[in-house]
Amino acid sequence: MGELRISEPMSRHTSWRAGGMAKRFFKPDSIEELALFLAQTPVDEEIVWMGLGSNLLVRDGGINGAVICTSGVLGKLALLESDLIRAEAGVPCAKLARFSVRFGLTGAEFLIGIPGTTGGALAMNAGAFGGETWPVIETVETMDRHGQRYLRTPEEYKIAYRSVEGPVDEWFIAGHFRLKIAREDGLARTKALLEKRNETQPTGQASCGSVFRNPAGDYAGRLIEVSGLKGYALGGAVVSEKHANFIINSGGASAADIENLIHHVMTCVEMAHGIRLVPEVHIVGDALEGGLQG
């Protein structure tokens, strides 16, 4: 039945390479096994979902509950109709982008710039290069903590910038993407977007992607940069010199280092510009005593 690990270090699974241990860590072999696991999980046990771990900070005290990892397991990708793609929660966003252009479709190229999975993109309305996830969603498949499956429409959710609110204790297991027939070379467009990402972002380093949401009419990276914070470090956590909305684990950073730096950046930007930045990274788990200073 899938892969169940006890006391699993989350630093092995997050792109920040930091964080404490999960009480239970489960990778299902199929949606059916996922349903069985959820049905057998106590109703009072915390459940944390993750894909590639690219938008997740697990505190150093770890997670006293179950982590469900979809990366590499819920990975089915299929063309249902000439312009409709079904992608399971564990499908990397970049893979979905390439799949869409391979079939001559447009509307999902922006996903090439998101270092996460389809499930994460659905959960936070992920976006890049001016595109967002939910405008191209026709329906989503979800599962509750009893293992019951549902098919839902966007009208059943409150969707905003980097925010999705829907039924409580119900998680995305697949999305149906309604795209358009391309009139131009989508492969060239995705290649150009990927090159732009590599030129402007610190790819290949231990980061979570963008840390903060962009405030209305401005960019978080610009505000952080003009606040003089590029290169600022706390412990092993450093504000990227390449793009100020990225925090890098330069080696040996604890989750507390990273979270403290997040709070420091928020305080400095608010003092300098009167704007309170909102993190888009998902912070979970327990802090070690004395670990968090912010």
Spatial CA neighbour of 153 closest among 170, 173, 139, 135: 139
Of 24, 86, 98, 162, which is the active-site residue? Answer: 162
> Which segments within the chain are labelled E, that is strand?
3-9, 21-27, 46-50, 56-58, 63-69, 77-81, 84-88, 105-106, 127-128, 131-132, 137-144, 149-152, 158-160, 163-165, 170-178, 180-181, 233-234, 237-239, 247-249, 282-284
DSSP-assigned letters across all residues of 132-156? ESGGGEEEEEEEETTS-EEEE-GGG
Q: How far is CA 278 from the centre of its chain?
A: 15
Catalytic-labelled residue, pool 11, 15, 210, 227 = 210
Q: From the candidates 8, 88, 109, 280, which is the catalytic residue?
A: 280
Nearest to 46 by CA among 32, 30, 61: 61
- Examine the residue annotation and report whether 162 is marked as an active-site residue of this protein: yes
| Residue 280 is a catalytic residue | yes
- DSSP structural state of residue 56: E
Three-state SS for 66? strand
Two tokens at 24?
A: 């239970």
Q: Strands 158-160 and 163-165, how do they pair?
A: antiparallel
Catalytic machinery residues: 162, 210, 280
